Chain A
């Protein structure tokens, strides 16, 4: 897919677009493409099993834009929306 900015210049040309984890709907699975976090949050995510290339599945989302429940391997994890926005995934 190609992406242009207003001036018509190509700014991205990946085959599979990476989207934020927060855009996935429950039941969808994807592969982690990038983790745009730093510091404590980054380390916590790593320890929870977030690594590029891993399969991640969105299990459910809480009401009132509450947290999202995801599954990586055998671990189920709760994330808030703004954290989920920082994790880029490729749909599989």
Chain B
């Protein structure tokens, strides 16, 4: 099968073009020679199936960034039959340098000048015929987003595929020093084929930025937008999540339970409470992920995410992070899972890892449920809001501390030189495709891991069969017993320790598991907890719950976003250690002070 690689600088619309070409059929895949996964899609061009590969955006073919290395290695090991070079027509002036570098590779190439619509608005005219002549390769103006010029370009691509790639990318490295003449050639081509206005018209972007990046109003507006985003995701997300849960519960009672009735009770439990619940856990995240990325598509495609980087950078740089990390951290307060997936916008691996290390400390809505229940049971209505607020402070504190400690180990190698794109309207198609791709990715990658984890915890809390579920006699109880010396200095008793084991799967089930462990539900459970624990113990338990591993889904996401099992183990280990120390210091100090 013939292969087409999409190449170009970041933000030129490669993904948009890729999506237009491949629709919803794109998949991620591994390639020889490189460690990152690339999006690929197969489409019918003319009479043949061809494979299209979306390469990461690069500024310079000889650059040192991770993406630039990936592209070099890719081209070296997988010479494409055709390279589709995507340039932003409005920035042709500077993007030509990459094209001239790529031309030296002697690949079979077609050049696409994207964002024709914006170029027209800016008064930039490009004579593609002259330029094609000067460069000696086919050049087309198009708008990947709106489709103008797309069909002509596609025909040219089909035609170009008939030729074989003349050169090989073998001598790639020898050519490192051959860029000297590029500048003069750039000037020559620009002079003949491109007409640039001396100064850009004062456009909508400038006017909007005057407000959005205002010295005093910029930050309040940013937090306002974040707040609205957050509210919107959970306003729509929570009912959808409940709906999915109800659907799965209904299906279970109506169909699965009767279907499995003939099986022995133990096996039924395993299938229903283990595997089926695992699947339901995965499904419950789907609406959140879809919504999150629908809204993220807006924030990203409009160009506001780069503005957030501008506004928050002064603060975040001190922590080794940048403004985009901050947006993801904030979104993590809704749900860590999509926030972790969202870190993909950061192209520097160490920056991304550092961000993924801090996001799990965001007090997500599932943890909030636990805290609301416990504070309601143990604290006066007057104290409860303060208690919750203090937990948010601890959440931020843990994130900041972690960033400060580890920023030295994960130094950001990518220079902070970010492009600030003009504001753009996202199209519905872009948003929906984004949501779909992310959900597919999550289900494809995380579901096995999550189901296995749920099954494991079920086994721990139900074996041996003779023991009452989740009681002290089960494996979990035995482990709880072993761990008792570890948790006793935190004021966390054995029952609560078992609940923490459940909490490893998902915080949503902590209260439910306590209900099973104590054999009581609702108000009665709250009463029993209030009877057994004092506020210091309860707060210590909440601190531990806040800081240790968020949930199995977050861990699965960490693993498949970092592609590094060791990193995942490290995140678990660090959060457990930090949780233990925090609870320990709090509990012992409070006791020492006589509480």
Contact = CB atoms under 8 A, between A and B. Distances in A.
User: Do A and B form a real pair?
Assistant: yes
Interface of A: 39-41, 43-49, 51, 59-60, 62-67, 69, 72-80, 83
A78 B306 contact: yes
Contacts of A80: 313, 317, 416
Given A40-B65, A74-B200, A47 B415 contact: no
A59 B315 CA distance: 21
22 contacts: A40-B63, A40-B414, A43-B59, A45-B415, A47-B59, A47-B94, A48-B419, A49-B93, A60-B213, A62-B313, A66-B314, A67-B313, A69-B420, A73-B93, A74-B124, A74-B196, A76-B421, A77-B418, A78-B416, A78-B418, A78-B419, A80-B313
A53 B218 CA distance: 33
A72 B307 CA distance: 18
Interface residues of B, number: 41
B94 A73 contact: yes
B415 A40 contact: yes
B183 interface: yes
A39 B64 contact: yes
A47 B313 contact: no
A69 B310 contact: yes
Given A73-B94, A80-B313, A41 B417 contact: yes
A83 B415 contact: yes
A45 B421 CA distance: 16
A79 B310 contact: no
Contacts of B218: 62-63
Given A69-B420, A80-B317, A74 B60 contact: no
A74 B93 contact: yes
Contact of A47 (B97, B209, B309, B413): B97
Contact of A64 (B64, B213, B314): B314
A41 B306 contact: no
Interface string B59-71: 1101111000000
Contacts of A83: 415-417
B32 interface: no
| Residue picked from A49, A74, A77, A78, most chain B C-beta under 10 Å | A74
Given A77-B417, A77-B418, 20 more contacts: A40-B65, A41-B415, A43-B64, A44-B65, A46-B60, A48-B419, A60-B209, A64-B315, A67-B309, A67-B313, A67-B314, A73-B93, A73-B196, A74-B122, A74-B124, A74-B200, A78-B310, A78-B420, A80-B416, A83-B416
B313 A75 contact: no
Interface in B116-142: 122, 124
Contacts of B122: 74
A10 to B, nearest CB: 33
B60 A44 contact: yes
Contacts of A51: 183
B311 interface: yes
A65 B420 CA distance: 18
Contacts of A63: 215, 218-219, 314
Contacts of A62: 213, 218, 310-311, 313-314
Nearest to A26: B215
A31 to B, nearest CB: 15
Interface string B89-122: 0110110011000000000000000000000001
Q: Top 8 nearest A-B pairs by Cβ distance?
A: A66-B314, A47-B59, A49-B94, A64-B314, A76-B420, A40-B64, A41-B415, A78-B418
Contacts of B571: none
B9 interface: yes
| Residue picked from B309, B317, B414, most chain A C-beta under 10 Å | B317
A83 B417 CA distance: 9
Contacts of B219: 63
A44 B94 CA distance: 12
Given A47-B59, A47-B97, A74 B310 contact: no
Interface in B4-43: 9
